Structure 1
Amino acid sequence: MILLTRLFSIIILACVSIDGESLSNFNLIQAGTSSDRDQAATTQTRKDKRNAADQLLAEANQLDKQGPAVAEQMIVKARQALGLWRELGVQSRQAEALHLLGNAHGYLNRNDQAMTFYRQALSIRQRINDRPGQGATLGEMGWISLLQSRNDKALDYLGQALAIFHSIKDRSKEGNTLNDLGNVYYRMSRYDQALGRYEKALAIRREVGNRAGESSTLMNIANVHYSRSRYEKALDYYSRSLAISRELKDRAGEADPLNNLGNVYFRLSQYEKALENYSQTLVIHRELKNRSSEGSALNNMGEALEQLGRYDQALEEYRQALSIRREIKDRYGEAITLNNLGEVNRRLGNYDKALEYYRQALSIRREIRDRIGEGDTLNNIGRGYRASKQSEESIRSHQQALSIAREIGDRLGEAAALNDLMLVCRDGKKTRLAIFYGKQSVNLYQEIRGDIKTLEKESQQSFIRSREDTYRNLADLLIGESRLPEAEQVLGLLKQEEYFEFIRRDATSAPRAGSTALTSEEAVIQKRYREISDKIAGIGAERGTLLDKKTRTSTEEQRLVKLEADLVVAGQVFQKFLAQLEAELSNSSETTAKVFYLRESQGLMEDLREMGHGAVALHTLVTDEKYRVILTTPDIQKGFEYPIKAADLNRKILQYRQVLQNPKLDPLPLARDLYKILVEPVAADLKAANAQTLMWSLDGALRYLPMAALNDGEKYLVENYRITVFTPASQARLKDIPGEHWRALGLGVTKSHGERTPALPGVLQEMNSIIREDAARKDTPAGTGILPGTIRLDEEFTQTSMLDGLRQRPSLVHIASHFQFQPGNETSSALLLGDGTFLSMAQIKVLPRLFGGVELLTLSACNTATGGSGATGKEVEGFGVLAQRQGAKAVIASLWPVADYSTKYLMQEFYRLREADAGLTKAEAIRNAQLKLLNGTVVVNEQSQQATRQIIQEELKPGDDKMPRFKSDPNKPYAHPYFWAPFILIGNWL
């Protein structure tokens, strides 16, 4: 009972409280009932807000996939979403919205604003430990830092992102980040590191099926190959990237490989094709409202227009590009455009303005550590200094550029710097140094050509065409130094194909006129000189007539005494001429030696009388301003000259040699031109002296010219005279009487020993037609050759067998093989032996009296008469001269790669004529053999005719179509000097 009361009391107390505290409680209860209704409403509002925020984020994410074109819409959606998520207090979603705002501003190149949003997003994601989100934002911060040229920051952010994605095993994001790291390293010109990241990224993107990412990385790999001048690989990777982007209908992805394909075509000098690609790229970037890429496309179009010579249009494109790049703070792009503005102004002759643009570009490139760009700008600064005649500053800039190019493996940049150094040194008369730089540049271009050899022909030709000036400038320097074989080799490198597809004895085929006006002073001197010279000629001719008489009257004796006294005076005048000549050329010790040799030539007069056969000597001397020739007969010496610069004469010689080596071109125009310069001044005196055998002592580049192939307008010189060459090495043995009948040693190669030494099928027939084997050789049937002797072919032709054969002191040694000629290099210039080894000129030089007792050494191989100059300018002897020093009394050698079949006929006819008539001189025998080829009286078999037709029908190389064609006569298949003129007789011609 008590308990119940107590309980009741409590209830009463509770009820009493209604008027006081309980009223409050009541009110609370009533309010709670209303709050439930409000809470339901609030819950519904939060749900709506969340749904709205989710929807806005989803829409922003969808817009994010569409890129720059919808960036402004994306900003609106992301801002609205951010506001809602802040109201809702959801930090992860706030971070996502901030990240999207960063992306949108990045698309619009508002990079500073983008970084602000990314930092806010990163701060939240770090606070809530959102590892995937941190990685994503760090990756974007790295990308923006790259765009701002803050490369160290970019590497830091991306490195952090990569570590996160790797730790959480997000392969897709790991691949993306590796790709971006590659981009940073690429921007820093650290190509090996870039390629390593790209290759890892490509593997991951293929693994996860990210086709768009695969396209992007393929393009980036192509960029590395492009920067290293590996254009074939670059085109391949760009094309693969473009194909994927088009397959995915990804316009943004399509633009970049299109642009970069344009870059490759630009490098290959296909500027119209490059411009077409850039224009397509510009359309896409404007469509997508991508300002950064729009600036790049405008800049690239400017570069193509500049190369096409459309400078006003180029400047306009550059100005637009510069404005955009400064607006978006693209320092890398700004430097490129500043550099290009400098280039156009330099081309227009505005050197000060050009240098100012270059300096601005250089400052930025050093600031952002763009090494390849720094090298490019330094090269351009060097060109600006060169144009304004500041050579020392120019050299300094180019050397800095060269150092950078070598450091980063930029072969094209290295070649460009070397080319520019060649030009500056040429301007400063530092010729040997200029040649050195030029050769290095050409070799680099050749290396790059090798890398693009499988590209379409147009691309290969376009690449070399744009660098042709480097080759020609180097060749011109070599020509000026009388280093014609080297010049020919350099020019030969410009050929896209061999002139002829036929067998030649050439182990190293290169991939391959009005007179000068005189000053009044010169005219006076020349007139006096002519008067003295004519007087000397008259005295000498009269004296010679009297000396030829077996008996003379007393009056004639007195006249002879008087004439000899007059000749003494004339000789003194001649000596004075030589002294003046020596003074004129006092800067050259080599020329002084030549003048000394000319003085000693007076001792030849009596030798000429003893040799007979109408022999006269012609000593030539090429000086900077004149060509001089001294005629020595048994009776007189007389000097002649022709005003022409040495460099101009050398160019004519080189041009004629190129025509001579192409039987499709007419040799007569140049043959007549050179005759006028070299022979016409002395022609009348040759006729007056009844000259029949011309013994030429040839100076400088004249050594590479077949004098027999000069033409007076009606006939070649060989049709009027016997032509021989003599040197100091041969002079002591000029009068030696040869044996009536010869015994021969034949050494030859018929088999191929690799691509550079093809088989020579004509050698076997050549040897068998010349030499009949000894009866002692039972394994060989009796031969039908002209001369008795021994033949050693292929495996039997070794260094040991050659030395054994030479110890037997044969009268004739006939060698038919390949000769590997390297101008100016005795070690690399070598004769191919039958076992596939080479015997170099350096080795031959040290073998004691190798050809002692040999009356005639015939080198039926290519380029055996030519020598050259080493790097110091010192003359390097040709094989022919070296053989004379080693004991051979006479040498037949060649001036260019010879045709196999025509050589066989020439040699066979030469030996047949010489053996048939013991009184016939070697000079007359080789002349008659040449005339038989020239006139078509040699019997030619069908196989040889077919090979010759193939030579003549070959297509002309580029540029040859401007030259007159040779009209071939099927009845005279070897009438072109290419076939009969390469072989010259050096030394004893009796």
Structure 2
Amino acid sequence: MRRRLVVLWLMFLLGLPGLAGLCVAQDSTPLDIPLLTRQAEAGYRGAMLALGEAYLDGNGVKRDLDKAVGWFTPLARTNDADALYLLSFALRERGRPGDLDEALRNAVTALSLTKKRKGQEFLEANIQSQLGFIYEKLGRFDETVVAYEAARRIFEERLGQSHPQVAGAYMNLANGLAGAGRQEESLAATETAIRVISRLPGTDQEPLGSLYLNKAVSLISLARYGEALAAVDQAEVVYQQLGAQAVRIADVLRNRSRVLNLVGRNQEAIEAAQGALTLYGQIPSPDQSTLAATHGILGLAYRDLRRYDDARAQFRAAATIIENNPRASRIDMMHPLINLGNVDDELREFESALTNYQQALSIILDTYGPDHAETAGMLSRIGNTSLKLKRYDAALEYGLQALLIQTSATDADVDNERYTYRMLARTLSATGNRTTAIFFAKQAVNTHQEVRARNSNLSDETRAALGQSFQPSYRLLSDLLLADGQFSEAQFVAGLLKQQEFYEFTRGGAGRSSASRDIEPGSIRLDEVEQSFWTDMRASMEPVLQIASEMRALKATREETGTALLEDKLKMQELAAKRDQAMQVFVASARNLIDRTETAKKTAVQFGQRYADKIESDLRSMSPNTVLLQIMSQDNNLHVFIRAAGRQMIYRMLPVGRTELANKVSAALAAVRDHDEDALAQLAALYDDIIRPVRSDLDAAVDLKSTDAPVLLLDLSGFLRYVPFAALYDGRRYLVEDFAPALYNPASPTSFTPMRRDRIKGAGFGVTRPFPGFAALPGTARELETVFKIIAGKPRLDDDFTQKSLAKALSSKPQILHIASHFRFRPGNEANSYLLLGNGDGLSLDQLRSQKQYNFRGIDLITLSACETALGGGAEGEEIESFGVLAQNKGASAVMSTLWQIADESTAKLMADFYEGLINQNLDKARALRQAQLDLIQGAKPEPQVAQASRAMTALEDTEETVSEVPTAHPYYWAAFILMGNWM
């Protein structure tokens, strides 16, 4: 989005300092307007200038730009440099048709005259600033930057950097650089202005607020949304400390709304924009362009929430304001047209969308030219709508043109880039060009990763909201790879999203092992054919880029007079024609290159092969009789991969739609947790969809007759992580009766080695008492007592279970850490996701992550005999591994936790049986858990004397009811337990 100029101290910066001594308006004496009028009518130069400035400023008279122009014009005709400058200023302010062009001619003439006179440096700088404003209004941003830079240089040379006028010059330069698409340089100029103002003693600090808002705009353009929000907050602090007017707080709300919308916090964006509009409504004469922009921002938030009628109303309101504003320029209509087109596109009114888009493109081309980021963004939108109309040739041509412009940009607009890449991928897929479709889909995913890297400082909640927009690109690439038969690569892409979740959850994981760094998200490597395609594509762009460079250089050339010669204008027209011709040659060349690449033999994706090699290495390091089941759910199909060490991978595509399967998972989970009578039927339906079609493949990969039950490793993503695989039911038996399930995450730094049993040392902690919001857990004491008859160590209960005692236990490096308590999980909120300690305090995920005393290195198993330690609240299960992933990243080898609220007494029984198998029967973790679950399935019961309680997230009513028999064969009691990491 093009930056709107924030005019800071306009008259101070552009007018009076350079004209000191010209006007009596400079001192504090009230102007004698009648006297000045008589003197001016008599032809006195000073009086004419002073009277013109009075009407220009509204100093002693009502502001009247027509009268100001009238007094400056006679002097300007005599080539009076001061009058020419002031006339240019008044014309630009008046803004009638033709005024800008006339203002430009007068400013150019004034500059030429001023440069011939000594001692006029300040006037020259002010004229250069005036030229910069005019060029910006005309969309001539390369010339804008030249003018602003000249002004800055003069001011800084004459005044030094510690001067408010120098700060203003840097701010003007920042605006020009932003308009030219040079966002990093623009940000640097804004930060310089902030430093200058901040260091000035006794200076009005209000301009700092505007500077911070301008900084936020630059950061938005660079997709650095977290920093943008921080800059908006800084502006608000400045304004609140100064007790600023409503308009300033409204500016803060308007900018905050834009950032919130970009990171997916749409409802908050709506509230901020509505607040801004309310405040602007309290101002007698609000700036109409700002008001229109605020309606547009509100409309964007409505659109992203699919409230299209509300969105369209806001966009039309913006358009109406602009149409009724006599000072509005043509460019002001650009964004309302684009936004209305977006709504039409979403509502499948494609022809209407194209009409709006084409009108916007015409404005953009006239204003910015053919090589600007705004032009590229508009071409991508037109291409995407053309794709929806199945006009594939048009879509491809628009997309290729947008790609060329974005590739040559000084500062990449990553938001528009990923849009273009994805549109090209979908277009090429629709035309059967899979190879290049996959290439562009990879570029889209990699660009998403760049956006993620720029926003590592966002809060968990905001980062999660931003990440929601990434998933369609991953799915698109995964689908394309699967359709192309690149199964390992498709697995890698699905895993990449999971790795991203892992990486985000651990924030890069301080102290990560080299294994985790190897699969750190961020780049899908291109194969040799794709690299060659991109090299050739870039080479075919060079003729167009070279001509565009010549055009920019010619525009930036300044003659002594500041005007372009006739021969330069003719040269520009010649270059423009050559560029159009070269663009058509590029498009034709790119089409041929796409066709040639499609026939080239593809090699494996380097990083995808590395991913496959890691899986094979992990499988070979495990004990025999292990099979890996990897499952991806796409829109229309379920993709299943089966691997065993030394065996060829098996791939199956099952005709199970994503929405249908997600609904079945939700229904089954609810039925099990609620003890519904149809729980088995729901679990059987899931078995039929997921396991039955590949059961023979699983059986063939293992030895079912072995005395050791085969281990079923599960690599899952999305909502599939909510499936209680152990309880899937074939009509006679649960899956756990034939296999020992365990979760496998290639993104986690796990070493698969058998547990050392020469001397098992443990540490245990538990909570028995009730606390506000949490029920008592009477079975915890017996659970820990039983467990620590098997494991060496002394458990700590209630008041002995504190942060200090846990940290001390960890420092002694126990092999097993067993915790029996409540766990409260809030997805996206680490500070409010915590383990309940025995004294009623909470130990948050944020503390576990950041504090060095919580180091789990050397721990072979962490058992969280608590509720919902693995359950996330999102429909995609992004946080399903929650505590487990964090613990593994901080050194734990394996973690056992639960999917839902678990029964207190049956859990105590299961834990006792688990450790009996693990320690005394020498079973590995997966098979020990399976045996404990089978004990409950086969009818083992907890002691009858203690009432049942749930390790729940909310308080339950106490009961004195004695339970004589608990039906522990129901999956509710045993299927919640999941083991992740090193299952051996």
Offset at residue 264 of structure 1 (A): 2.4
Equivalent pair of 1:708/1:723 in contact (CA under 8 Å) = no
Equivalent residue of 1:906, what SS?
A: helix
1:266 corresponds to: 261
Equivalent pair of 2:790/2:919 in contact (CA under 8 Å) = no
Offset at residue 647 of structure 1 (A): 2.9
CA RMSD across the alignment: 6.9
Offset at residue 348 of structure 1 (A): 3.6
Q: Of 154, 158, 166, which aligns to 1:168?
A: 158
Higher percent of residues as helix: 1
Q: Calculate the TM-score normalised by the size of structure 1.
A: 0.51
Give the Cα separation in 1 of the matches to 2:182 and 2:224. Answer: 16
Q: Unpaired runs of 5+ in structure 1? A: 1-42, 499-506, 513-618, 629-642, 683-690, 728-741, 753-760, 774-792, 803-813, 818-833, 840-856, 863-891, 955-967, 986-990
Give yes or no for the alignment of 1:381 onto 2:396.
no
Residue identity opposite 1:272 in structure 2: I
Offset at residue 150 of structure 1 (A): 0.7
Equivalent pair of 2:213/2:232 in contact (CA under 8 Å) = yes
Once the two structures are superposed, the pairs formed by residues 510-549 of structure 1 within 5 Å of their partners are: none
2:728 corresponds to: 710
Offset at residue 147 of structure 1 (A): 1.5
1:730 corresponds to: none
> What CA deviation, in whole Å up to 9, does each residue of 1:495-537 have, x standing for no partner?
9999xxxxxxxx99xxx9xxxxxxxxxxxxxxxxxxxxxxxxx
Give the Cα separation in 2 of the matches to 1:393 and 1:895. Answer: 53
1:810 corresponds to: none
Equivalent pair of 1:342/1:355 in contact (CA under 8 Å) = yes
Equivalent pair of 1:282/1:298 in contact (CA under 8 Å) = no
Offset at residue 180 of structure 1 (A): 0.5
1:949 corresponds to: 951
Offset at residue 199 of structure 1 (A): 1.9
Give yes or no for the alignment of 1:79 onto 2:74.
no
Equivalent residue of 2:738, what SS?
A: strand
Give the Cα separation in 2 of the matches to 1:177 and 1:286. Answer: 30
Give the Cα separation in 2 of the matches to 1:723 and 1:911. Answer: 21
Residue 894 to residue 255, structure 1, CA distance change in 2 (3 Å): closer
Offset at residue 161 of structure 1 (A): 1.8
Equivalent pair of 1:708/1:716 in contact (CA under 8 Å) = no
Equivalent residue of 2:169, what SS?
A: helix
Equivalent pair of 1:620/1:698 in contact (CA under 8 Å) = no
Residue 365 to residue 45, structure 1, CA distance change in 2 (3 Å): closer
Equivalent pair of 2:424/2:440 in contact (CA under 8 Å) = yes
Equivalent pair of 1:285/1:293 in contact (CA under 8 Å) = no
Residue 712 to residue 187, structure 1, CA distance change in 2 (3 Å): same
Equivalent pair of 1:292/1:324 in contact (CA under 8 Å) = no
Which has the larger displacement, 485-494 or 208-217? Answer: 485-494
Offset at residue 411 of structure 1 (A): 4.3
Give yes or no for the alignment of 1:105 onto 2:102.
no
Equivalent pair of 1:345/1:351 in contact (CA under 8 Å) = yes
Residue identity opposite 1:221 in structure 2: K
Q: Of 166, 187, 207, which aligns to 1:195?
A: 187
2:126 corresponds to: 136
Residue 722 to residue 256, structure 1, CA distance change in 2 (3 Å): closer
> What CA deviation, in whole Å up to 9, does each residue of 1:659-709 have, x standing for no partner?
769996768766523414647999xxxxxxxx9x99899899999866651
2:170 corresponds to: 178
Residue identity opposite 2:459 in structure 1: K
Residue 173 to residue 910, structure 1, CA distance change in 2 (3 Å): closer
Once the two structures are superposed, the pairs formed by residues 107-126 of structure 1 within 5 Å of their partners are: 110-126=99-115
Give the Cα separation in 2 of the matches to 1:371 and 1:940. Answer: 76
Offset at residue 98 of structure 1 (A): 2.4
Q: Of 408, 411, 416, which aligns to 1:408?
A: 411
Residue 57 to residue 479, structure 1, CA distance change in 2 (3 Å): same
Offset at residue 160 of structure 1 (A): 2.3
Once the two structures are superposed, the pairs formed by residues 895-906 of structure 1 within 5 Å of their partners are: 906=910
Residue 155 to residue 257, structure 1, CA distance change in 2 (3 Å): same
Residue 231 to residue 664, structure 1, CA distance change in 2 (3 Å): farther
Equivalent pair of 1:235/1:261 in contact (CA under 8 Å) = yes
Offset at residue 148 of structure 1 (A): 0.9
Equivalent pair of 1:342/1:354 in contact (CA under 8 Å) = yes
Give the Cα separation in 2 of the matches to 1:95 and 1:145. Answer: 17
Residue 238 to residue 46, structure 1, CA distance change in 2 (3 Å): same
Residue identity opposite 2:178 in structure 1: Y
Once the two structures are superposed, the pairs formed by residues 902-913 of structure 1 within 5 Å of their partners are: 906=910, 908-909=912-913, 912=916
Offset at residue 139 of structure 1 (A): 0.7
Residue 45 to residue 743, structure 1, CA distance change in 2 (3 Å): closer
> What CA deviation, in whole Å up to 9, does each residue of 1:936-963 have, x standing for no partner?
7246999x998x6245769xxxxxxxxx
Offset at residue 412 of structure 1 (A): 3.7
Give the Cα separation in 1 of the matches to 2:658 and 2:857. Answer: 38
Residue 712 to residue 228, structure 1, CA distance change in 2 (3 Å): same
Structure showing greater radius of gyration is 1
Residue identity opposite 1:408 in structure 2: D
Give yes or no for the alignment of 1:320 onto 2:320.
yes
Give the Cα separation in 2 of the matches to 1:489 and 1:470. Answer: 12
Equivalent pair of 1:142/1:157 in contact (CA under 8 Å) = yes
Residue 666 to residue 224, structure 1, CA distance change in 2 (3 Å): farther
Which has the larger displacement, 167-176 or 442-451? Answer: 442-451
Once the two structures are superposed, the pairs formed by residues 321-470 of structure 1 within 5 Å of their partners are: 323=323, 328-331=328-331, 333-355=332-354, 357-359=356-358, 361-362=360-361, 365=364, 367-368=368-369, 371-390=372-391, 394=395, 404=406, 408-417=411-420, 420=423, 440=446, 443=449, 446-447=452-453, 450-453=456-459
Equivalent pair of 1:696/1:724 in contact (CA under 8 Å) = yes
Q: Calculate the TM-score normalised by the size of structure 2.
A: 0.51
Give the Cα separation in 1 of the matches to 2:631 and 2:296. Answer: 56
Equivalent pair of 1:435/1:478 in contact (CA under 8 Å) = no
Which has the larger displacement, 488-497 or 974-983? Answer: 488-497
Once the two structures are superposed, the pairs formed by residues 437-836 of structure 1 within 5 Å of their partners are: 440=446, 443=449, 446-447=452-453, 450-453=456-459, 645-648=654-657, 652=661, 656=665, 671-676=680-685, 678=687, 708-710=726-728, 717=734, 722-724=737-739, 769-770=789-790
Residue identity opposite 2:411 in structure 1: I
Residue 416 to residue 95, structure 1, CA distance change in 2 (3 Å): closer
Give the Cα separation in 1 of the matches to 2:364 and 2:471. Answer: 30
Offset at residue 152 of structure 1 (A): 1.8
Give the Cα separation in 1 of the matches to 2:55 and 2:191. Answer: 30
Give the Cα separation in 1 of the matches to 2:328 and 2:42. Answer: 36
Give the Cα separation in 1 of the matches to 2:439 and 2:764. Answer: 41
Equivalent pair of 1:205/1:214 in contact (CA under 8 Å) = yes
Give the Cα separation in 2 of the matches to 1:196 and 1:743. Answer: 57
> What CA deviation, in whole Å up to 9, does each residue of 1:372-428 have, x standing for no partner?
424432432342133123557656766776783896354444554566567667767
Equivalent residue of 1:346, what SS?
A: helix
> What CA deviation, in whole Å up to 9, does each residue of 1:815-845 have, x standing for no partner?
999xxxxxxxxxxxxxxxx997699xxxxxx
Residue 769 to residue 287, structure 1, CA distance change in 2 (3 Å): same
Equivalent pair of 1:151/1:368 in contact (CA under 8 Å) = no
Equivalent residue of 2:308, what SS?
A: coil
Give the Cα separation in 2 of the matches to 1:90 and 1:917. Answer: 103
Give the Cα separation in 1 of the matches to 2:192 and 2:632. Answer: 64
Equivalent pair of 2:764/2:818 in contact (CA under 8 Å) = no
Give the Cα separation in 2 of the matches to 1:969 and 1:437. Answer: 62
Give the Cα separation in 2 of the matches to 1:970 and 1:224. Answer: 67
1:156 corresponds to: 146
Equivalent pair of 2:668/2:682 in contact (CA under 8 Å) = no
Residue 94 to residue 202, structure 1, CA distance change in 2 (3 Å): same
Equivalent residue of 1:451, what SS?
A: coil
Equivalent pair of 1:190/1:408 in contact (CA under 8 Å) = yes
